[in-house]
A = this chain, B = another copy of it.
Amino acid sequence: MMRRGFQWAARLGHHRALPGALHILPGFTPSSAFGSSVDSLVSRFCLEKTDLKDYALPNASWCPDMLSLYQEFLEKTKTDGWIKLPSFKSNRDHIQGLKLPSGLAVTSDKSDWRIFTRCIQVEGQGYEYVIFFHPSKKKSVCLFQPGPYLEGAPGFAHGGSLAAMMDETFSKTAYLAGEGLFTLSLNIRFKNLIPVGSLAVLNTNVEKIEDQKLYMSCVTQSRDQKTVYAKCSGVFLQLQLEQE
């Protein structure tokens, strides 16, 4: 185990795109075999029966653009292979029954944990978003409406809130498309500011999967595609979670 971990760190260390020794945590090693199909990952992720609250459902705060594009994609789930991803309070809910790699053991479950992009409970004040995923095309579309608690410049979403939204969309897409689990890098170019309360659409693609890494891209723009808010590329590390 230690030896494989070391080899992995050493190999990544010599990769041009990742200078310097890289290790997430001691004893944290990627699996050498990626056996889970996209279908099995999706069916485990999108639980048919659950008591967990799904936060990716319309509420009174959604602007008309967000609502109508949501309905449009909902139609595509019936005819065009798109899947609406549920969004639970914590990643602990998303990986129920799966074991984290050694070194990432969860010490306590007593706290009130929340995934960062669901950190604000009041509808419309923080993150409002829903992600649609297309398994065979290995792409996602995230509908994102930043609320007034996500402000940077007065009246506009903080660049960091968009960075986190892109990271989270990458993360879920990378996991479902190929067991991509950890962000290795993000490269963001900001082009325009997103007005608070308006819809931004994150078009996300898996560009390639190579050498246990997923290379992702995202263009965030207005619904009419006339305004590009940001462009982002990201690299994720593949790690297979085992059943508990």
Contact = CB atoms under 8 A, between A and B. Distances in A.
Nearest to A105: B155
A90 B151 contact: yes
Nearest to A109: B154
A25 B198 CA distance: 15
B167 A163 contact: yes
B117 A160 contact: yes
A159 B188 contact: no
A22 interface: yes
A114 B148 contact: yes
Given A151-B90, A167-B159, A193 B119 contact: no
Interface string A4-39: 000000000000001010111100000000000000
Interface string A151-163: 1111111111101
B161 A111 contact: no
A185 B190 contact: yes
A3 B185 CA distance: 38
A170 B240 CA distance: 35
Given A153-B91, A164-B158, A182 B187 contact: no
B163 A186 contact: yes
Contact of A24 (B100, B181, B192): B192
Interface in A140-158: 148-158
A161 to B, nearest CB: 5
For A95, A114, A160, A166, the residue with the greatest tally of chain B CB atoms inside 10 Å of its CB is A160
Contacts of A90: 151, 154
Contacts of A149: 112-114, 116, 119
B24 A193 contact: yes
A131 B163 CA distance: 21
A187 B156 CA distance: 21
A116 B193 CA distance: 14
26 contacts: A90-B151, A91-B152, A91-B154, A92-B154, A104-B153, A106-B155, A107-B155, A111-B148, A113-B148, A113-B151, A115-B158, A116-B149, A116-B160, A116-B161, A117-B160, A119-B149, A120-B120, A153-B181, A158-B164, A158-B168, A160-B160, A184-B189, A184-B190, A185-B187, A185-B190, A186-B186
